[in-house]
Amino acid sequence: MHGYPRSNHQASLLNSAGLEPDRVLMLDIPHTTGSERLSGRAVDAVTGQRYHNLHDPPPTSQNPTSSEGSRSDDIRSNPRIVQAPDDRECEVGGRLACYAAHRDELIFFYGNTLQRIDADQDVHTVFEEVEARVVNPIPRRLIN
Asked whether the beta carbons of 72 and 59 are under 8 A apart, the reply is yes
pLDDT in 10s for each residue of the chain, 144 residues: 778 898 999 999 999 999 988 889 999 999 999 999 999 999 999 999 999 988 889 887 655 455 545 555 555 567 889 999 889 988 999 889 988 999 999 999 999 999 999 999 999 999 999 999 999 877 666 555
Beta bridge partners of 71: 59
Q: Are the C-beta atoms of 141 and 129 separated by less than 8 Å?
A: no
Write down the H helix ranges in 68-122: 89-110
- Cα–Cα distances (Å) from 74 to 51, 84, 114, in that order, read 11, 15, 37
CB 37 within 8 A of CB 123: yes
Return the CATH superfamily for domain 1-39+85-137: P-loop containing nucleotide triphosphate hydrolases (3.40.50.300)
pLDDT at 78: 79
Domain spans in the chain, listed from the N-terminal domain onward: 1-39+85-137, 41-82
Predicted local distance difference test score (pLDDT) of residue 3: 80
Output the pLDDT for position 61. 63
Measured from the Cβ of residue 38, the count of other Cβ atoms closer than 10 Å reads 20
